[in-house]
Amino acid sequence: ADAAARIDPHHAIGDIDRRIFGGFVEHLGRHIYDGIFEPGHPSAGADGFRHDVIDLVAELGVSTIRYPGGNFVSGYRWEDGIGPKEARPRRLDLAWHSTETNEVGLHEFQAWLDHVGSDLMLAVNLGTRGTQEALDLLEYANADADTAWTAQRSANGRPTPFDVRMWCLGNEMDGPWQVGHRNADDYGKLASRTAKAMRMVDPGLELVVCGSSSSGMPTFGSWERTVLEHTFDDVDFISCHSYYQEMGGNAQEFLASGVDMARFIESVVAIADTVAATKKSDKRIMISFDEWNVWYLHNEEGGQNDKPEERGWPVAPRLLEDQYHVLDAVVFGDLLITLLQHADRVRSASLAQLVNVIAPIMTEPGGIAWRQTTFFPFSITSRLAHGRAVRVPVTSDTFTSERFGEVAAVNAVATIDDEGVSLFLVNRSTTDAAAVTVDLAPLLRELGREVAVVESALLHDDDRYAANTLGDPFRVGVRALDGAAVAGESLTLTLPPVSWGAIRLA
């Protein structure tokens, strides 16, 4: 079917904050241990970090990495992870029913971030702990003063502050599964007084208050309103978390996931701005979409997969090791397009997660590391999307979603920077290819020069369930979008059904 689109630089959404290409590393399953950290692996350095994994994370292009959880943080004592390794305690991790060895803590994780070239975003424990422990961690990490905590930091090999700029005030505190789960009033009050105290240490911090664990939570909406009524003056961001999966073999419905994410973002923005209006404030709370991905969380019976309590208290068990196929990666690419379409208010986002645990990168102990299908849309979008995000109106076929009614088959967004223009597109149709004509006239007028296709990528496979595996790690990749070309004032390209593509014009 034919589709028409237009890139008009006047329809700018906003400047892209590079932090929307963030990631998330939790002490969970084989993420840290037997994932990024595997002393004895042939590629591991003296510090135990695997360099094959470091190279892949660097290639992925992740800006800021949220750490150390997730549900894990709500029972975590950060002091367990500092000081001489032989003195570090082993602890029960209630969130994932595992044993935490604490071989990796703040210092080691920062060393790994230095390897991959990403920035640290820390979460404090507001589940089993409170304001004082958050202050202790902040003082240890950021204070430039002579105190007991900074002396300990120096003794542990780090005289200069870590200088962590973004901090999450707990994790998913609305979720009954969360250790220390609270109602919105109780959490809002705790988050407010913790944020105020943290700003007394360092007024320039950027603070993220917990929004809902998903838009499907029974308290969604009222949670955001109540929490922001308590914390509006104290925080910069509210978090959104969302995971998607194909249910009941309904690929077409799964391909509408981007619509769900867009509605989620727009609802939270509306609530945040309503609270601003009631407070007669011009301040705009931004969104930190600090957990998003495809995750096969629910089984077909509606229960939860990966129930950790059935597995004892192991160290680094195989948990949440989802294998992603082409369809997952197309939905995933559409989620990235959706984040860019909201670049004015989504100023930070974290792909959950990075290695082995619902991850674009997988590892085998003692063996290889490989790219899952979702690796490709992330690495390409992160590399090509710079400058400002620009709305791309599309007229295309539609399909009927059970949840969202008529949904456009083709979705797109563009970004414009000093060197060129990038266009990201998805064809959500399970049946029809889309022959897309993109009107470049307004763009060419602004640029005052011609452009040509200098790079293109297509993620598609005739078998939409094809995946990369330990036995066949290069089964799925991207190839050039054959035939994509600029002629006169138009770009033309064809997207097969269930495909994601990117084009670079310069």
Binding site for ligand AHR (CB under 6 A): 26, 69-71, 171-172, 213, 291, 352-353
Q: Which is nearer to ligand AHR, 142 or 293 (CB)?
A: 293
Nearest 5°: phi and psi at 15? Answer: -70, 145
Q: How far is the CB of 169 from ligand AHR (least distance, A)?
A: 14
Q: Which is nearer to ligand AHR, 79 or 172 (CB)?
A: 172
Q: Which of left, alpha, beta for 332 (phi over 0: left; psi -120 to 50: alpha)?
A: alpha
Q: How far is the CB of 232 from ligand AHR (least distance, A)?
A: 23
CA atoms 22, 26, 29, 30: torsion sign? positive
User: How far out from the chain centre does Cα 113 lie?
Assistant: 16
Q: Are 314 and 99 in contact (CB under 8 A)?
A: yes
Q: What is the DSSP secondary structure assignment for residue 431, as one 8-state letter?
A: S
Q: How far is the CB of 68 from ligand AHR (least distance, A)?
A: 10
Q: Which is nearer to ligand AHR, 29 or 497 (CB)?
A: 29
Q: How far is the CB of 142 from ligand AHR (least distance, A)?
A: 24
309 is catalytic: no
Q: Which of left, alpha, beta for 287 (phi over 0: left; psi -120 to 50: alpha)?
A: beta
Instruction: Quote the strand ranges of 307-397, DSSP E.
Output: 346-352, 361-363, 369-371, 388-391, 394-395
Task: List the structure tokens of 292.
Answer: 């998003």
Distance CA 361, CA 346 (A): 25
Q: How far is the CB of 12 from ligand AHR (least distance, A)?
A: 32
Give the residue nearest to ligand AHR (CB): 70
Q: Residue 138: CA atoms inside 13 Å, Cβ hemisphere, count?
A: 28
3-state SS of 322-342 is: CCCEHHHHHHHHHHHHHHHHC
Q: Which is nearer to ligand AHR, 355 or 413 (CB)?
A: 355
Q: Which is nearer to ligand AHR, 227 or 352 (CB)?
A: 352
Cα–Cα distance list, 7 to 213, 385, 438, 444 (Å): 35, 15, 7, 9
Q: Which 3 state secondary structure label does DSSP give 194?
A: helix
Give residues with Cβ within 8 angstroms of 275, minimum separation 6. 225, 228, 229, 232, 285
Q: How far is the CB of 247 from ligand AHR (least distance, A)?
A: 18
| Residue-wise DSSP of 7-63 | --TTSEEEEPPGGGGEEE--S-TTSTBTTTB-TTSTTB-TTSBBHHHHHHHHHHT--
Letter for the amino acid at 147?
T
266 is catalytic: no
Q: Which is nearer to ligand AHR, 213 or 401 (CB)?
A: 213
Write down the catalytic residue from 38, 79, 108, 172: 172
Q: Are 484 and 492 in contact (CB under 8 A)?
A: yes
Q: How far is the CB of 243 from ligand AHR (least distance, A)?
A: 7
Q: Residue 202: CA atoms inside 13 Å, Cβ hemisphere, count?
A: 23
Write down the catalytic residue from 26, 79, 224, 291: 291
Q: Residue 157: CA atoms inside 13 Å, Cβ hemisphere, count?
A: 9
Q: Which is nearer to ligand AHR, 25 or 262 (CB)?
A: 25
Q: How far is the CB of 104 from ligand AHR (least distance, A)?
A: 17
Q: How far is the CB of 431 from ligand AHR (least distance, A)?
A: 33
Q: Which is nearer to ligand AHR, 122 or 502 (CB)?
A: 122
Q: Which is nearer to ligand AHR, 223 or 424 (CB)?
A: 223
Tell me which residue has tokens 């089984």: 299
| Residue-wise DSSP of 399-430 | EEETTTEEEESEEEEEEE-SS-EEEEEEE--S
Active-site positions read: 172, 291
